[in-house]
Each structure stands twice: as structure tokens, then as C-alpha cells.
Amino acid sequence: HAEARYRAIVDTAVDAIVVIDRIGTLHSFNRAAERIFGYAAEEVMGRNVSMLMPDPDRSAHDGYLKRYHRTGERRIIGIGREVTGQRKDGSVFPLELSVAEWKADGEVRFTGIVRDITARRTAAEALLTAK
Ligand code: HEM
């Protein structure tokens, strides 16, 4: 029962929940991730998480992971960051990224939670330019 309950929680979450391994390979992609990025889970499973972002991060993300494994220095894990994502149709959008690290049978895994902040950004810009 526990497994089905976790599945239901993950699949009804409003934010995208994405799991990768130590080299960035995608292992889990919930319903919200399908909606936000425009890919079906089976299209992305086994591919690199860098497919979800535009350059320059797309070409650099493997290096970010390597840097983290080498130094242990956390720049997003436990901190969060506003970054830019890219949908299947090529369009880009602002997102708030949170990353957590965990282990499954001795294997490193990272869970990323992605919130589309397009509406928040538009509202903030409207306030800034309002006279
Ligand atoms: C590091 C961008 C998605 C896991 C980074 C860094 C950037 C970045 C810029 C390096 C930070 C620095 O060195 O200052 C992005 C963008 C994403 C994305 C634009 C858009 C989709 C994800 C997702 C995960 C993830 C979904 C996990 C499932 C990590 C990890 C690190 C990292 C583990 C290294 C640890 C750290 O810097 O704390 N990412 N990322 N990223 N990212 Fe991503």
C-alpha cells in the first residue's frame, strides 16, 4: 500500500518532480513534469536531465554534477535557484529549482522539484514597470 500512496502523492503534485542518478540520467518524471515540460515520461526516461534546459546550462550540466562529486560543494542542493527550463517545443520559461540528495541501495540519487514561475515573473515585472 505504501508504494501506491507515494505514487498518488507524486502524481497529484502541482510541481514537477524529477529523479536523476549521479551522471544526470532521468529515472522518474511525474505527471506535472509531463505537463510543464511537454514530454511524456517514457520519452525522457534514461536520457540526460540536460535535455530539459537551454544552453549554456545544457552543455555545462554534466560538468556541474562532476564538480559537485569532486568537491562536495553544494550550490543548489538545499539552497534552490531560479533558472531557465526548455520545453519539448523549444520554448523557454523561468523555473524555481530545489534539489535534494539521497541514496538507494548505495546509489546516489537527486530529486529535483521544479516550479514554473512564469506567472510570478510576469506579475513582478508588471509591478516594476507600473507607474
Ligand atoms: C547543478 C541548472 C535541473 C540537479 C546545477 C547548476 C546549474 C543548474 C546552473 C550549477 C550551479 C553552480 O555551479 O553554481 C539547472 C537547470 C535545470 C536543472 C537550468 C533546468 C531544468 C536539475 C534537476 C536536477 C538537477 C531537475 C535533479 C533532479 C543538479 C545537481 C547539481 C546541479 C545535483 C550539482 C549540485 C549543486 O550545485 O548543488 N544545475 N539544473 N538539476 N543540478 Fe541542475
31: buried, middle or exposed (CB in 10 Å: 19+, 13-18, 0-12)?
A: middle
Structural domains counted in the chain: 1
Testing ligand 1's pocket by substitution, the residue of 99, 107, 116 carrying the most ligand atoms inside 8 A of its CB is: 99
- Nearest CA, atom 17, ligand 1: 53
pTM of the model: 0.95
Give per-residue pLDDT as tens, 20-31: 999 999 999 999
User: Over 90: is that where the pLDDT of 131 sits?
Assistant: no
- Nearest CA, atom 6, ligand 1: 64
> What's the CATH number where 62 sits?
3.30.450.20
Looking at the predicted complex, does its ipTM rise above 0.95?
yes
Ligand 1 contact, 117 CB (< 6 A): no
Give per-residue pLDDT as tens, 43-94: 999 999 999 999 999 999 999 999 999 999 999 999 999 999 999 999 999 9
Residue span of the structural domain in which 106 resides: 2-129
Q: Which of 24, 62, 26 is nearest to 41 (CA)?
A: 26
Q: Are 33 and 47 in contact (CB under 8 A)?
A: no
pLDDT of amino acid 1: 86
Grid coordinates representing 9? 502523492
Q: Which of 98, 97, 93, 99 is nearest to 119 (CA)?
A: 93
Testing ligand 1's pocket by substitution, the residue of 22, 39, 49, 77 carrying the most ligand atoms inside 8 A of its CB is: 49
User: Over 80: is that where the pLDDT of 119 sits?
Assistant: yes
pLDDT of amino acid 20: 98
